[in-house]
């Protein structure tokens, strides 16, 4: 039986938040039964902006714990650390040689990050510019059919497709052309402090996001402080982007359709709605965080090592095919 393959990853930088969970991880959990699934902790991507080494080590294991606590089953999927499979960087180098600089210059994430406060003081590293090429290598190494991500990654999948087609055209059929897999509801969770910008790990204010490691008091405080729109009705519409975002979060965490939520709060105001949303968020987070604590570092590392062992042969085979096609002596 030949199942389709999915591949996705998350950077171990900053605090993982509800946007990462609702836009990506929640869907992975649903897809793992149907697809041959590979999930990566992309540490090589994380170092495209400065990282504290101790913190990076800690966060790498934490991201893996989040995958596991969310319900990613290491028996069904391969979970591994990107830097454990060196074929990713090797393929990236080769793909670099067919990537055009203007294609990288125009990437929104590059433009955003290169002006963000943590990198603007120092010169921008070439790694940040080449970031999408490494992501293309991640995806193309494994004959990936679908890439389940949030909406912000669409442009990166588009360039991955461009590079795959370009390589195939120049050197013969080698790479599967991947498709993005985006779930409409969670694809773009917005910041709690500003509904015009996405919830982000690198946001300057911690009131932008609810981290997957936030305690109850913090969650309640953040939801209380979340901006709302004018008026007092609880309605789900584009004219009320802050409320729409909060209803989306409520809906996804409690598996309740937005229209039902609207109805529930017909004669109630923001205070009731926010207090219940906080309850919903806390009752999701408590068991989740309890599960995270059940995994000690050694156990997680063992799972990650086994995951790398499982995917390495696939990566090796693809890289060898690539090397032959471009004329390297094997």
Binding track, positions 156-175, relative to ligand TYM; x by CB under 6 A: x-------------------
Q: For 135-201, what is the HEC assignment?
A: HHHHHHCCCCCEEECCHHHHHHHHHHHHHHHHHHHHHCCCCCCCEEECCCCCCCCECCCCCCCECCC
* Interatomic CA distance for residues 253 and 246, integer angstroms: 11
Nearest to 70 by CA among 30, 39, 29: 29
Q: Which of 5, 8, 161, 220 binds ligand TYM (CB under 6 A)?
A: 8
In angstroms, how far is CA 57 from the centroid of its own chain?
Answer: 18
Annotation marks residue 290 as catalytic: no
Q: Which is nearer to ligand TYM, 207 or 265 (CB)?
A: 207
Q: Which is nearer to ligand TYM, 11 or 51 (CB)?
A: 11
At residue 198, φ and ψ (nearest 5 deg) are -70, 150
Q: Which is nearer to ligand TYM, 242 or 265 (CB)?
A: 242
* Interatomic CA distance for residues 217 and 224, integer angstroms: 11
Q: Which of 66, 81, 95, 189 binds ligand TYM (CB under 6 A)?
A: 189
- Taking the complex as a whole, the smallest distance from the CB of residue 285 to ligand TYM amounts, in Å, to 17
Binding track, positions 199-218, relative to ligand TYM; x by CB under 6 A: x-------------------
* Interatomic CA distance for residues 85 and 193, integer angstroms: 38
Using CB atoms, what's the residue nearest to ligand TYM? 23
Catalytic residue among 113, 222, 274, 318: 113
Residues that bind ligand TYM (CB under 6 A): 7-11, 19-20, 23-24, 42, 45, 135, 138-139, 147, 149-150, 152-153, 156, 186-189, 198-199
Catalytic residues, by residue number, are: 113, 198, 201
């Amino acid at each position: 039986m030949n199942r389709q393959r999915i591949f996705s990853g998350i950077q171990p930088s900053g605090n993982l938040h509800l946007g990462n969970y609702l836009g990506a991880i929640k869907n992975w959990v649903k897809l793992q039964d149907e697809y041959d699934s590979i999930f990566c902790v992309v540490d090589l991507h994380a170092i495209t902006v400065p990282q504290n080494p101790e913190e990076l080590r800690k966060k790498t294991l934490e991201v893996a714990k989040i995958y596991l606590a969310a319900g990613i089953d290491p028996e069904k999927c391969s979970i591994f650390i990107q830097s454990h499979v060196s074929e990713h960087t090797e393929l990236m180098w080769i793909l670099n040689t067919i990537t055009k600089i203007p294609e990288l210059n125009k990437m929104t994430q590059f433009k955003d990050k290169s002006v963000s406060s943590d990198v603007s003081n120092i010169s921008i590293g070439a790694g940040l510019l080449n970031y999408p090429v490494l992501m293309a290598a991640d995806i193309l190494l494994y004959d990936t059919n679908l890439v389940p991500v949030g909406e912000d990654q669409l442009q990166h999948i588009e360039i991955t497709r461009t590079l795959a087609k370009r390589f195939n055209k120049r050197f013969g059929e080698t790479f599967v052309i991947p498709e993005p897999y985006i779930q409409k509801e969670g694809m773009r969770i917005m910041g709690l402090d500003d509904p015009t910008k996405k919830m982000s790990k690198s946001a300057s204010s911690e009131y932008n996001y609810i981290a997957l490691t936030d305690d109850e008091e913090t969650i309640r405080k953040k939801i209380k402080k979340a901006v709302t729109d004018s008026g007092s009705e609880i309605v789900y519409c584009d004219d009320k982007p802050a409320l729409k975002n909060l209803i989306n979060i409520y809906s996804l965490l409690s598996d309740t359709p937005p229209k039902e939520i609207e109805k529930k709060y017909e004669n109630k105001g923001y205070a009731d709605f926010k207090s219940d949303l906080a309850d919903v968020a806390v009752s999701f987070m408590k068991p989740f965080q309890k599960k995270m604590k059940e995994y000690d570092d050694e156990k997680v590392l063992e799972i990650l090592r086994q995951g790398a062992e499982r995917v390495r042969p696939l990566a090796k085979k693809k890289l060898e095919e690539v090397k032959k096609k471009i004329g390297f002596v094997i």
